[in-house]
């Protein structure tokens, strides 16, 4: 088997090197050397080898005989600024959803070639769900999805009632005082605020969808509209709602939430599905079983995707995307990163079966209950040879990793993609965020400031007073001698 794959790899490399020669002879590319690929990705966002993981970059370099210059960024905005400063510095970057939209809108990215779109490995194996989502929003031509997921709550079922978290507003509750955290990130927290503000409207839509008044597409459209509202009223209400939430929170977090869940400092964490999987895995190692839930009103579908900045070495960039989209490489990435790849295919499905499947139809779980079907056809259909892409798991497992990694189809009807907000809305939302973080100011802070100001005034006055008094007053009958000036 190993030998076979090596032969295949050599053959592929040979074929590719021939095609490279062809490329060189007829090539008139202006940008740099065409066998260097400059990739700009999130930190820790590709399988890098070591510990039994696959070194994907090394594999790509060897297979195609090229050099990859790999660098990483920490936030979308850093990446964006870097691109603004050196526009032609990278061939392939991996921003998040809203940043991709912004970059497309600002005409910063190159379109994919027709060949890539028609018959590339990526187009063959990318999940039909992701493909639809991209086509519907008009991103297909410019962006290739890499990882995706939802947002929800990770919680400890021993201390938290699942019932409470069926709604996003479940953490606005003194029952969980100092037990929950949300993200220290404007966009994610704004989403939470909006979901809490429009709770009733969202529930009404849900009822309409349940009775069949709305089709799944209409339902999704309406939810997307609500979750992307940025009018003044919405911002103001979201602000008040989040300031109100602060009294119940343990705090905000960037990265510490996962660890704090595991050590038990907190029992509810507003998290991305990929981080949720990580927390659940790690906690299991120390004997704690955590769950993940996507509240009933709505959720956020997020994704990170590859785009080629203007002037990129598009040929090699497309090859790299196709390389990463081979299901076996997607599996390597999922193993390493822990997030869910946008790529489907049998290799991915089989890996998931290996991870999560607890039996077949009709089997019983440990407690003697029949296994339930977790239907993933929406994601895997037509990317491989299986007729039915489902995983049979126990009912409890649906609260755990498998559902965080692949939500069930009905969750997706109520999941909205958050759009890029224009500059004005962005400024207003940032201002809102500052106020949330800065308020309320405790009364003692005013007292301290007043005391300090009073002290300064007193000291200043005493100087002035002293200065006056120290001037010797001439006694009656004496004249003040004028000292030389």
Q: Two tokens at 112? A: 């994919």
Q: Is 434 in the site for other proteins (CB under 8 A)?
A: yes
Give the largest CA-CA distance in the chain: 120
Q: Is 464 in the site for other proteins (CB under 8 A)?
A: no
Instruction: Please list every residue from 26 through 55 that binds other proteins, using CB under 8 A.
Output: none
The least CB distance from residue 437 to other proteins, in Å, is 4
Q: Which distant-in-sequence residues (6+ apart) come within 8 Å of 338 by Cβ?
A: 274, 277, 278, 281
Helix (H, G, I), strand (E, B) or coil at 481: coil
Answer for the pair 36, 69: CB distance below 8 angstroms, yes or no.
Answer: yes
In the list 103, 109, 238, 249, the residue contacting other proteins (rule: CB under 8 A) is: 249
Q: Is 398 in the site for other proteins (CB under 8 A)?
A: no
- Which lies closer to other proteins via its Cβ, residue 59 or residue 246? 246
The least CB distance from residue 250 to other proteins, in Å, is 5
Answer for the pair 172, 313: CB distance below 8 angstroms, yes or no.
Answer: no
Q: Two tokens at 62? A: 């060897």
Among 202-210, 289-297, 371-379, 429-437, the segment contacting other proteins (CB under 8 A): 429-437
- Which lies closer to other proteins via its Cβ, residue 118 or residue 445? 445
- Which lies closer to other proteins via its Cβ, residue 188 or residue 318? 188
Which own/partner pairs from 55-61 qualify as long-range (CB within 8 Å, at least 24 positions apart)? 56/323, 56/324, 56/329, 56/332, 56/333, 59/329, 60/320, 60/323
The least CB distance from residue 388 to other proteins, in Å, is 44
Q: Write each residue from 115 to 154 as x if it is in contact with other proteins (CB under 8 A), else as -, in one continuous string.
A: ----------------------------------------
Of 84, 405, 415, the residue nearest 226 (C-alpha):
415
> Computed over its alpha carbons, how large is the radius of gyration of the chain?
29
- Which lies closer to other proteins via its Cβ, residue 21 or residue 448? 448
Which string of DSSP letters, residue by residue, matches 206-220? HHHHHTTSS-HHHHH
In the list 7, 449, 454, 458, the residue contacting other proteins (rule: CB under 8 A) is: 449
- Which lies closer to other proteins via its Cβ, residue 254 or residue 485? 254
Q: Is 365 in the site for other proteins (CB under 8 A)?
A: no
The least CB distance from residue 308 to other proteins, in Å, is 22
- Cα–Cα distance for residue pair 183/269, rounded to 1 Å: 8
Q: Write each residue from 256 to 275 as x if it is in contact with other proteins (CB under 8 A), else as -, in one continuous string.
A: x--------x----------
Instruction: Please list every residue from 56 through 85 that binds other proteins, using CB under 8 A.
Output: 74-75, 77-78, 80-81
User: Pairing between strand 109-110 and 308-309?
Assistant: antiparallel
Instruction: Please list every residue from 184 through 243 that binds other proteins, using CB under 8 A.
Output: 184-186
Q: Two tokens at 379? A: 């994601």
Among 157-165, 305-313, 390-398, 423-431, the segment contacting other proteins (CB under 8 A): 423-431
Of 319, 326, 333, 323, the residue nearest 347 (C-alpha):
326
The angle that helices 186-197 and 216-227 make with each other, rounded to 10 degrees, is 120
- Contact residues toward other proteins (CB under 8 A) are 74-75, 77-78, 80-81, 178, 181, 184-186, 246, 249-254, 256, 265, 426-427, 430-431, 434-435, 437-439, 441-442, 445-446, 448-449, 452
């Amino acid at each position: 088997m190993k030998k076979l794959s090596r032969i295949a790899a050599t053959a592929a490399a040979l074929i590719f090197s021939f095609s490279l020669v062809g490329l060189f002879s007829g090539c008139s590319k202006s940008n740099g050397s065409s066998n260097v690929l400059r990739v700009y990705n999130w930190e820790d966002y590709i399988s890098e080898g070591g510990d039994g993981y696959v070194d994907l970059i090394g594999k790509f370099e060897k297979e195609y005989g090229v050099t990859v210059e790999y660098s990483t960024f920490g936030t979308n905005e850093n990446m964006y600024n870097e691109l603004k400063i050196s526009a032609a510095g990278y061939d392939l970057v991996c921003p998040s959803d809203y940043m991709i939209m912004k970059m497309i809108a600002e005409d910063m990215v190159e379109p994919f070639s027709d060949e890539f779109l028609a018959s590339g490995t990526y187009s063959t194996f990318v999940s039909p769900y992701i493909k639809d989502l991209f086509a519907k929003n008009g991103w297909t031509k410019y962006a290739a999805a890499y990882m995706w997921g939802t947002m929800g709550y990770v919680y400890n079922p021993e201390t938290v009632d699942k019932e409470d978290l069926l709604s996003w507003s479940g953490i606005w509750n003194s029952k969980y005082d100092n037990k929950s955290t949300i993200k220290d990130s404007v966009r994610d927290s704004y989403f939470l605020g909006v979901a809490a503000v429009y709770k009733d409207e969202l529930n009404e839509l849900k009822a309409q969808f349940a009775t069949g008044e709305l089709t799944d597409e209409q339902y999704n459209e309406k939810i997307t509209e609500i979750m992307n509202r940025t009018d003044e009223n919405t911002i103001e209400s979201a602000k008040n709602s989040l300031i109100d939430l602060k009294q119940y929170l343990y705090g905000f977090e960037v990265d510490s939430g996962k660890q704090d869940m595991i050590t038990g400092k907190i029992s509810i964490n507003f998290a991305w599905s990929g981080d949720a999987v990580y927390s659940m895995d790690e906690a299991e190692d120390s004997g704690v079983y955590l769950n993940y839930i996507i509240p009933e009103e709505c959720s956020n579908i997020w994704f990170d995707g590859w785009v080629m900045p203007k002037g990129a070495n598009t040929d090699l960039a497309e090859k790299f995307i196709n390389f990463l989209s081979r299901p076996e490489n997607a599996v390597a990435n999922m193993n390493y990163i822990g997030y869910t790849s946008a790529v489907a295919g049998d290799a991915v499905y089989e890996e998931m079966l290996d991870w999560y499947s607890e039996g077949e139809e009709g089997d019983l779980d440990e407690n003697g209950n029949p296994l339930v079907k977790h239907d993933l056809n929406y994601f895997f259909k037509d990317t491989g040879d299986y007729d039915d892409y489902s995983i049979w798991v126990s009912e409890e497992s649906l609260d755990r990793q498998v559902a965080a990694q692949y939500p069930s189809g009905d969750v997706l009807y109520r999941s909205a993609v958050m759009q890029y907000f224009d500059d004005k809305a962005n400024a207003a939302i940032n201002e809102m965020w500052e106020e949330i973080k800065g308020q309320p100011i405790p009364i003692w802070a005013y007292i301290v400031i007043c005391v300090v100001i009073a002290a300064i005034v007193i000291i200043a006055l005493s100087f002035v007073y002293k200065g006056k008094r120290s001037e010797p007053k001439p006694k009656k009958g004496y004249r003040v001698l004028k000292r030389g000036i």
